[in-house]
Structure 1
Amino acid sequence: MLWLSALVVIAQLSAAKPLLNQRWDDQSVKHAWVEIPKGWEYHSAPPADHLLDLRIGLKQDKIDQLISSLYEVSDPAHGRYGKHLSKEEVDALVAPHPDSVDAVEAWLEHHGINPSDAHFRLTAGEWVTIRVSVAQAERMLNTKYAVYRHPSTGSQVVRTMEYSLPTELHSHVDVISPTTYFGTMQSMRATSFIQPQAASPDSDSFATNISPLDVPASCGVTVTPACLRALYNTTDYVPQATDNNSLGIASYLEQYANDADLQTFFTTFRPDAVGSTVEHVQINGGLDDQSLPGIEANLDIQYSLGIAWPTRGTVYSTGGEPPFNASSTTPTNTNEPYLDWLNYLLNQTTIPQTLSNSYGDQEQTVPLDYATSVCNMFAQLGVRGSSLFTSSGDHGVGGGDCNTNDGTNTVKFQPIFPASCPYITAVGGTTGVNPEVAASLSGGGFSNYFRRPAYQTSTVASFIIALGDEYSDLHNASGRTYPDLAAQAAGFQVVNGGETITVGGTSASAPTVAGVFALLNDMRIVEGKSPLGFVNPLIYSVAKDGFNDIVSGNAPGCGTDGLSARAGWDAVTGLGTPDFLKLQALLKDARVTNDYS
């Protein structure tokens, strides 16, 4: 097997020698769209010599064992709870079978690509990246690429409506990109938005210390770290494992967390944190342009650390957004951002114990093979001991567009990915205090790709029964349901470009919950225990009483009143908002005290 460890180089594109074995001629479609994904339009044909970095995801030989391990180390009732796997152990499970390696190498050679020249990107060997021309990619995938334009952003990408592989390779290859996934960073939605200013800088709402016993009504309009710390009972907890515990924030769309804005934010809202800094990590050409502060990036880091300080924070800036340039001899980096970010993280020996992502697409716009591959990569993070939170979306049950993209334009509730992935913790939105109620924007519903995981079955049963036949033609009642948790989603005071603005969306909810769980991870590390890792099996079982149940409000969409919050779990606010003190007590239960050994 000719697996190499160097960086990607240009593959030799010489004509392949005729082979007696014609196994590569029997081709079948791997994925196809019925119509151009919504929001995109055909623009032009790309030059035949335009270069693509073609990424091939090989079947992971023991992925079923990895998923089983994920559930075992994440289930507080299991003897393996907390026994997270090392990078090397995970790599051994996701490495491709030798037969898959041999088949792909033979296919590359058939197309004139010498595997010893087409350097393979190594994590566990399951991803291969080759640089080829559009013409070569079209021959390999029996397809035609085109330049597609996203009118609302002006973004242009090189994609195809379908691609094929030799039938033999279908059992060896999970996904190839860039092909049919149009969701590049320009079209991905950051789940946040600017709101009208809720308060002036001298408002009493900007108090830096609020009693959890007396949360003022103003916190339901103007949200600050003090409000959240009081609402979710973290005010008195002081992190101690700051050398070992860290929190990471995913950043795309040329969003840059600004250091000066962070200091201004700390000065105004968290004075004890003034002077502390965050680490900036650039991935795949990502930048750290301090002259271009980003509202989303600032929101994420300011509020996750506004709760979790002095926990160490890292912002991952993932690049890959240059526009298509037909005259350029440099390949447009059209690899999808999740793959770049996840491959980077999974290639590190140590990763943050808590991660937050505030970006998503409609699930139906993400090819199933791509979504499955990304979801399995989330599972790798979880089995290694990282808790990953993602926003559930800001469009209620409709996901922003209720019509299906299968050519029928049928109205359906549209789930959001990656919130719909069962190996990630999705966070919905609330608003108001005393009591909190569901925010009407809170994304939630049922996946059409992923079945409901066992950890949800008993907890969501009453909601499914109460829902009955209502909307039965609009959703997949057997799918993975989300969100799992919720937090405030409106009125957040964010410093951007030196000015305080008001921001809303579940982009605020996800880093808020991540901040709370970063403190729980700190507590466990101080006690000599393992970090929580993938938290869903825990929160749906012994820790399910550690949340404030949200019982009113609804998330409308698709011409309906949508789904409603109710007692117990619901598909608008999940199990509810976190109560740190309750969770802290529940995690001291004997069944969740496994140490690192």
Structure 2
Amino acid sequence: MLWSAFVFGLAQFAAAKPLASKRWATAEPAVKHAWLETPGGWEYHSAPSADHLLELRIGLKQDKIDELIKALYEVSDPVHHKYGQHLSKEEVDALVAPHPDSIEAVESWLQYHDIDPANAHFRSGGGEWITLHIPVGKAEKMLDTKYGVYYNSKSDEYIVRTMSYSLPQELHSHIDVITPTTYFGTMRAMRSTSFIQDAHPITALNSASFAAEISPLAVPASCGSTVTPACLRAMYNTTNYVPKATATNKLGIAGYLEEFANDADLQTFFSRFRTDAAGAKLTHIQLNGGLNDQTDPGVEANLDVRKSLLSYGWTGLGVTLSCLNHRTDTGGSPPFIADSATTSNTNEPYLDWLNFVLNQTTVPQTFTTSYGDDEQTVPVDYATSVCNLFAQLGARGASIMFSSGDEGVGAGSCRTNDGTNKVLFQPAFPASCPFVTAVGGTTRVNPEVGISFSGGGFSRYFSQPSYQTTAVSTFLTGLGTKFAGLYNAGGRAYPDVSAASNGFQVVISGRTSSVGGTSASSPTVAAIVSLLNDFRISEGKAPLGFLNPLIYSTASTGFNDIVSGSNPGCGQTGFTAGAGWDPVTGWGTPDFLRLQALVG
């Protein structure tokens, strides 16, 4: 049953109110989620106006989510008879639709608070998400909480959040999460997965030398510190591949927070590094106030686009940059207006973007996103809900790459925020979600080694999926008791694969700069996956979809094993790369020709 069941006449709404009042008037609130202390980096600033409008998102329990995940694994397992039989939007929507009892309970609760469900601002296709515009004062009554305006000096932004929220006990079995509440993470605070590596950008390059092809049999040492398209094509064996399914195969890149991929810079990039691709264009999609200011390019967006393009044997594949540039309505003052007519964007990552993509009839076959945060800073209910949205996308045949992070096993003190103040390795989210492919980083060539900042470890939220049990067990046996107690040996382990992440040449405002980070490695792997999808589609086969069951089984030999390097953090030396899978580089870096043979 979808949210169309919420559409009632005014008479029905009025008649239901007395019954709802009896039901909820005496219901005792029970805490849904609470922080013991203000999340790191944030400080209380002031109380928001009671009239300030919030975009309140209610995520209902998905009635058949277990069936969806079962179907996801079936269509993603290369030895299952359903492999490649991805689900349609309608099939996914049916599996994630809330149970009629959940719809009835939430409907009654909303009516009790004088909210007509028919006035929802947004309803997801499966009906498991509903968005309402309501004032802070009403949200505080509904959630038995007090909101505050919080400030982050590092990102210079203000957000409206709460330290805890509660729901009647009955609703705990019907509602997964409500936002904005206790998740303080924002895209602006998470813009740390790439970084400029040289203080003085390179302004004059020899186009011929940088655009020239390099033999994959003799990748020059310079590619270990100055990474160009020719380097990556040689390193990962895509040099001679020419895409064929260019009308069908698409690669999607998520951009945020006024990070624009500049079209002029793209053409300059081609002229310097890929002369055969001159004129290739990028499709821009703006969401939720997203912008496309061609006069103000961004490092992150330019990096993602260039790295996704430069590994192609030919740039005929369609690349879409979806810009979800969350608005900050302020220049140093709290982002709200004290009236009941203007809503503020919640600045919460992923939800707007995922709901937009999932509401499309068709979706790109490959996605890459270069953002992340410490898992412990994301409320588990929020992380689980977002992770399940990635499962929906994977079930529909999309391969989803995420940077594993640039902090090794954890940055800073690595102290926990649960009141115990323990020092533990800190996994990253969404890399820790078992339904995405996390991409770590390498450096150098002949051979590549794991780079020191490559994020890797074990989730404390998500249990270890069966597809990686054998590989992870082998690693843990070799590790022995080292770091015992600092990580969760039973958690989802990451990264899954890796790629070069040091010295990438990127054009920004017409000048070439060197950029590093796993923000480089994720779109590089995504480009190669997109080429593999192109090959399969051109052969009349389904795209690869959710990659991990394939990577950890029949395709594991399609990667260059990285056997040295470590990812220190938290005052520790970190894990060490070795033969087979490891939490520094995963299975290693992709070899397109070997993978092409394995997935064909």
TM range (shorter): over 0.9
How far, CA to CA, are the matches of 1:328 and 1:211 in structure 2?
63
Alignment CA distance shift 1:205-1:410 (3 Å): farther
> Does residue 175 of the first structure (1) align with residue 184 of the second (2)?
no
Question: Which residue among 420, 435, 440 is the counterpart of 1:408?
Answer: 420
3-state SS of paired residue (1:337): coil
Write the deviation string for residues 484-511 of structure 1: whole angstroms up to 9, x where unpaired.
0000011000001111001000000000
CA contact (8 A) 2:124 2:355 kept: no
> Does residue 281 of the first structure (1) align with residue 293 of the second (2)?
no
CA contact (8 A) 2:39 2:377 kept: yes
Write the deviation string for residues 424-447 of structure 1: whole angstroms up to 9, x where unpaired.
000000000000000001000000
Unaligned runs of 5+ in 2: 8-12
How far, CA to CA, are the matches of 1:550 and 1:118 in structure 2?
51
Displacement of 1:185: 1.9
Residue type of the partner of 1:160? Answer: T
Write the deviation string for residues 304-353 of structure 1: whole angstroms up to 9, x where unpaired.
01223211000010032324434354111115220000000000011000
Alignment CA distance shift 1:434-1:59 (3 Å): same
**Aligned twin of 2:529:** 517
3-state SS of paired residue (1:19): helix
Displacement of 1:116: 2.5
> Does residue 112 of the first structure (1) align with residue 102 of the second (2)?
no
Question: Which residue among 295, 313, 316 is the counterpart of 2:319?
Answer: 313
Alignment CA distance shift 1:119-1:201 (3 Å): closer
**Aligned twin of 1:593:** none
Alignment CA distance shift 1:377-1:562 (3 Å): same
Write the deviation string for residues 490-544 of structure 1: whole angstroms up to 9, x where unpaired.
1000001111001000000000000001000000001000000001000100010
**Aligned twin of 2:187:** 185
How far, CA to CA, are the matches of 1:276 and 1:400 in structure 2?
42
Query: RMSD of the TM alignment (CA)?
Result: 1.9
> Does residue 339 of the first structure (1) align with residue 351 of the second (2)?
yes
Write the deviation string for residues 91-114 of structure 1: whole angstroms up to 9, x where unpaired.
000011111111101000111112
**Aligned twin of 1:325:** 335
3-state SS of paired residue (2:470): helix
3-state SS of paired residue (1:38): coil
Displacement of 1:253: 2.1
CA contact (8 A) 1:399 1:416 kept: no
How far, CA to CA, are the matches of 2:355 and 2:37 in structure 1?
30
3-state SS of paired residue (2:161): strand
**Aligned twin of 1:533:** 545
CA contact (8 A) 1:250 1:317 kept: yes
CA contact (8 A) 2:404 2:431 kept: yes
Alignment CA distance shift 1:525-1:401 (3 Å): farther
How far, CA to CA, are the matches of 1:98 and 1:388 in structure 2?
31
Alignment CA distance shift 1:144-1:205 (3 Å): farther
**Aligned twin of 1:575:** 587
> Does residue 467 of the first structure (1) align with residue 470 of the second (2)?
no
How far, CA to CA, are the matches of 1:456 and 1:587 in structure 2?
19
3-state SS of paired residue (2:458): strand
**Aligned twin of 1:3:** 3
Residue type of the partner of 2:337? Answer: S
Is 394-403 or 423-432 further displaced after alignment?
394-403
Residue type of the partner of 1:226? Answer: A
3-state SS of paired residue (2:213): coil
Question: Which residue among 387, 399, 419 is the counterpart of 2:431?
Answer: 419
How far, CA to CA, are the matches of 2:280 and 2:26 in structure 1?
57
Write the deviation string for residues 529-580 of structure 1: whole angstroms up to 9, x where unpaired.
0000001000100010000000001111111111110111100000000000
CA contact (8 A) 2:202 2:511 kept: no
3-state SS of paired residue (2:106): helix
Residue type of the partner of 2:293? Answer: D
Question: Which residue among 153, 161, 170 is the counterpart of 2:163?
Answer: 161
3-state SS of paired residue (2:166): strand
Alignment CA distance shift 1:119-1:259 (3 Å): closer
Displacement of 1:77: 0.8
Residue type of the partner of 2:265? Answer: D
How far, CA to CA, are the matches of 2:26 and 2:168 in structure 1?
5
Alignment CA distance shift 1:400-1:525 (3 Å): farther
Write the deviation string for residues 245-266 of structure 1: whole angstroms up to 9, x where unpaired.
0100011122111100111001
CA contact (8 A) 2:413 2:571 kept: no
In the comparison of the two structures, how many residue pairs are matched?
A: 582
Return the TM-score normalized by structure 1.
0.95
**Aligned twin of 2:509:** 497
**Aligned twin of 2:298:** 294
Displacement of 1:153: 1.8
Displacement of 1:189: 2.8
CA contact (8 A) 2:60 2:175 kept: yes
Alignment CA distance shift 1:459-1:205 (3 Å): farther
> Does residue 250 of the first structure (1) align with residue 254 of the second (2)?
yes
Which stretches of structure 1, 4 residues or more, deviate above 6 A after TM superposition? none
Write the deviation string for residues 427-484 of structure 1: whole angstroms up to 9, x where unpaired.
0000000000000010000000000100001112211111111111110011000000
How far, CA to CA, are the matches of 1:562 and 1:99 in structure 2?
48
**Aligned twin of 2:441:** 429
> Does residue 209 of the first structure (1) align with residue 226 of the second (2)?
no
Alignment of 1:342-353 (within 5 A): 342-353=354-365
**Aligned twin of 1:58:** 60
Displacement of 1:202: 2.8
Is 240-249 or 200-209 further displaced after alignment?
200-209
3-state SS of paired residue (2:3): coil
